[in-house]
Chains A and B, each alone.
Chain A
Amino acid sequence: MSRGFNRLLDAVVRIDVREIQFNDGAKRITSGVGSGVIISNDGLVLTNAHVVSPQAVEISVTLASLERVGAKLVGWDHWTDLALLRLDLDTVKRRGLSFATADFGDSDGLFVGQTVFAVGTPHGLTRTVTRGIISNNDRYFEDSRGVNGYETGAFNTWLQTDAAINPGNSGGPLATEDGKVVGINSRGYIGADNLGFAIPAKVARTVAATLVKSGAVTRSYAGIGFRELQDLERFYALSANTGVLVANVDVGSPAARAGLRAGDVVLTLNGRKVDGRFPEQLPPIQQSIANLPVGTTIKLGVKRGDQVVELSAVTEKLESRVGEEWAFEKWGLTVRKVSRAYARENQLTDETGVVVLGVQPGYPAAQAGLARGDIITKFGSMTLTELAQLKVLYAAYETMPEPQLVEAQRNRRISLYVIKP
């Protein structure tokens, strides 16, 4: 292999994570293994958002030298499935450890058929190198729950490779022969052979830069669900290479308030022509909205029937569908705040309430009859608009346990329960 590739090998790490999960009515610690790549001399490690999340309590990085170092999460972005860690530099210094750093290559310059290598820790097998080619360099792959229940893939396309990508490869680099990182390996099709997907280096670099600066990526949201026109140009009487279909408009979103409707065709976005004939053209269109500062007015040139109308919407901050999670141990109850996206998905009237993630058998919540998926909207006489309210009520219960009336919805049916010691 090239000298560059050997240097890359020295920059690839194994990541062992212990994180909190709230699924069973109690806080549980689970552990997982993934891969990562060191990208700077000050110890920044790039990996996947589904490897290290904000719920991680212990991150341990194994360097190429087989030395173990702790690390902290710098930021994460589930939309692109990327997370950024920083090695504990004090330990590195104190123990006199050394590591190499990897260089990014040009992911835009990749061609289909080009040889690439995946480096990582598949199934815990540290420092495994597999080889393949770029199978497709512009794959559309959106998943509304792809990263531990979080949305992913709306704003970027993926590199597809036939280099073997297995669980544990996640977060490791996809590199060219000269050792340049062109992608971050992220997912494979379960049950399929040699269908692996990586986040292009171009996306990874930009997101990493933002995460170092602010720990998170802020995006603009308009609430438009685009779909490719694919062969519908004639039906909508459009000139060639123009327009993208609006398949869905989120209820209550800026686009809905602007009057955009499903079935409309967006011809221009802020005066620029939009071309969305094929699925892989959709992420760049979404990205062009997301990139705008929150609160920007976007102007949409829209074809509706025979008319062309101009609509304008003011973007809001994009939020995840997964709200804050918490465990109330004495009730044997774990919950997650209802987010705007969750409320929309489930056709709830508003964001009131917390979703039950789990109940522990035999504990008060389970005894009361609460079950996973119930939405607790009221506790005592208090309507739950914030998770913090429930934390306060729980603290009061801890000091003086008394039966409490709980109102919850299941499939939009309202029921009452009593949580009692």
Chain B
Amino acid sequence: MRFLRCYFLSVSIFALAARATPLPELFNERVKSVVAVEFFVHTETDRQPVTVLGTVIDTAGTIILPGAAIGPSVAPGQLKDFKIYRPGRTESAPATYLGQDAFTGWHFVRVAEKSRAGLVPVTHWPAMKSDPALSDELWGIGLRNKDEDFQPYFLSSRVAVLMKLPQKTVILGSDVAGPGLPVFNTAGELAGLAQTSFGQNFLIFSRNQRGNPIVLVNVEESSVVLLADEVLPHLGRIPQSVSGRPIAWFGAYGLQPMDPEVAKLLKLENQSGVVVSDIMKSSPADLAGLQERDIVLAIDGHPLPRLKPDRVVVGYFGQEILRHQPGETLTLSVLRGATRVELTVKLGDEPKLVREADRRYFERLGFTAREFLSNDGIMHRATPGTTEGVMVHFVKPGSAVATAGLRPDDWVREIDGTEIKAYAQAVGKLTAIEADIARSEFVLLVSRSGETQVLRVKLN
């Protein structure tokens, strides 16, 4: 009898050690680290509501959102009315957009001070001491839609595979959390952050079509988790300004991975490389002497690793650049034809991005003119250094210019027969045309994939 009693006691102690806190309890605590973030993207003609999920990272009310939450051409000025919602609540709290970090891709948002109570930074929870292993059970939080008060719900799955993409990432057997939200192990330790989910291949069958392949992407839940090791060290990368600057700049474009067959033929087994397609004139890459067709094999003496799939090495290379600050130098080992060349690159400041470019919407004409950027020069194969003309950023459907055949991404070279040398000049001319109510027409000369067209725009 006594023996039996003893046995029961030891079993209950053992169970207590393995499951210190029941999962529902862990869930209810950790749900305090997640929020739904709502904001509006103001475009020329629309006010588009966006809802994404975010994770609280510090006691200052800072929240990170996945990179995909905001498109790259959206200017910070177009982002309005940030609000956060606690899971399961109807009331919202105002928040401010802080900008995007180029290295992690995360967008940062900060909740107003008076509304920070009750939010718990994700760093409050201990992180897993080692990487999750194959078949380990992980769990996370999903949030329902706004009309269900962002009701939190529990998701769990097991680790299917660990990959380097190039950061350490686990993929689980099924969806484990809303994209952007933290994932934990059964002891409540932080395992990582759920990423935007991957597409999955399906066949779609219908009455008239048999087995058409389609790719489905779950936007509400994800089975891809970036491990805590790759998340925690970067939580301090809160942008100093809404532009996200400083951003290190290299200046080589169209980087392509080297596949294993090519590596083998070049006797470079067990490593990879990136082939350089295009180099911007006067960029750091150009000044360092990098040439088109060069194959970059190593950065600062470290050979580029062989990652799977092949194209991941391009992301790896990009991150190695963005890890640095403008002004810092790095050395590259480059294969040029049959010879190895060592180059020293002094990184520069990323040239103006689309989201930072000046732009102006001309409502009566029906389009937005945006200043010409060096990246547009690469796109349009312009003579290096060209800064003439303006870009068409947006065309209002059914407007005067739309009827005349103007399209987004057209490159305006002349307005009313006058060559455009600068953005301000174009804005001046367009403003005058727009203000002149008596005007019945104007003429644009645009360049589109290397060919020019004369467009006659009828007003009124």
Contacts and interface: CB of A to CB of B under 8 A. Distances in A.
Interface residues on A, range: 20 to 34
A305 B417 contact: yes
B16 to A, nearest CB: 57
A236 to B, nearest CB: 8
A262 interface: yes
Interface string B406-446: 00000001100100000000000000000000000101010
B256 interface: yes
A413 B381 contact: no
Contact of A248 (B256, B275, B278, B452): B452
Nearest to B444: A263
Contacts of A415: 256, 275
A231 interface: yes
Contacts of A347: 381, 449-450
A4 interface: no
Contacts of A275: none
Nearest to B443: A235
Interface in A332-382: 344-347, 368-369, 381
A180 B261 CA distance: 65
A416 B275 contact: yes
The size bracket of the interface on B is 20 to 34
Most buried by B among A231, A262, A346, A407: A262
A412 interface: yes
A248 B453 contact: yes
Interface in B234-261: 254, 256, 258-259, 261
A97 interface: no
A412 B278 contact: yes
Nearest to A367: B261
Contacts, number: 80
A248 B451 contact: yes
Nearest to B449: A347
A249 interface: yes
Chain A's interface: helix, strand, loop or mixed, by majority?
A: mixed
Contacts of B452: 225, 247-249, 262-263
Interface in A244-262: 245, 247-249, 251, 262
Interface in B134-178: none
Contacts of A248: 451-453
Given A369-B259, A405-B265, A231 B456 contact: yes
Interface in B25-40: none
Contacts of A238: none
Interface in B187-224: none
Contacts of A420: 261
A236 B417 CA distance: 9
A262 B258 contact: no
A232 B454 CA distance: 11
B68 interface: no
A29 to B, nearest CB: 30
B255 to A, nearest CB: 8
A409 interface: yes
B454 A418 contact: no
Nearest to B451: A248
Given A231-B456, A248-B453, A414 B277 contact: yes
A150 interface: no
Nearest to A306: B417
A403 interface: yes
B404 to A, nearest CB: 12
A247 B443 CA distance: 12
- Central interface residue in A248, A249, A347, by most chain B CB within 10 Å: A248
B292 interface: yes
B69 interface: no
A186 to B, nearest CB: 26
B441 A235 contact: yes
Nearest to A263: B445
A299 interface: no
Contact of A418 (B254, B262, B337): B262
A18 interface: no
Contact of B254 (A232, A251, A405, A412): A412
B42 interface: no
A193 to B, nearest CB: 26
A231 B452 CA distance: 19
A407 B293 contact: yes
A249 B452 CA distance: 8
Given A235-B441, A235-B443, A235-B456, A413 B256 contact: yes
B276 interface: yes
A227 interface: yes
Given A235-B443, A414-B254, A227 B276 contact: no
A104 interface: no
Given A232-B443, A235-B441, A347-B450, A414 B417 contact: no
Interface string B368-407: 0000000000000100000000000000000000000000
Closest 5 CB pairs of A and B: A262-B452, A418-B261, A413-B254, A414-B277, A415-B256
Interface of A: 225, 227, 231-232, 235-236, 245, 247-249, 251, 262-263, 305, 344-347, 368-369, 381, 403, 405, 407, 409, 412-418, 420
Given A248-B452, A413-B277, 16 more contacts: A235-B441, A236-B417, A245-B454, A262-B454, A263-B452, A263-B454, A347-B449, A381-B337, A407-B293, A412-B254, A414-B254, A414-B256, A414-B275, A414-B292, A416-B258, A418-B262
25 contacts: A231-B456, A232-B456, A247-B453, A247-B454, A262-B413, A262-B453, A262-B454, A263-B417, A263-B445, A347-B450, A369-B259, A381-B337, A405-B265, A412-B254, A412-B278, A412-B381, A413-B278, A414-B276, A414-B277, A416-B275, A417-B259, A417-B261, A417-B262, A418-B261, A418-B262
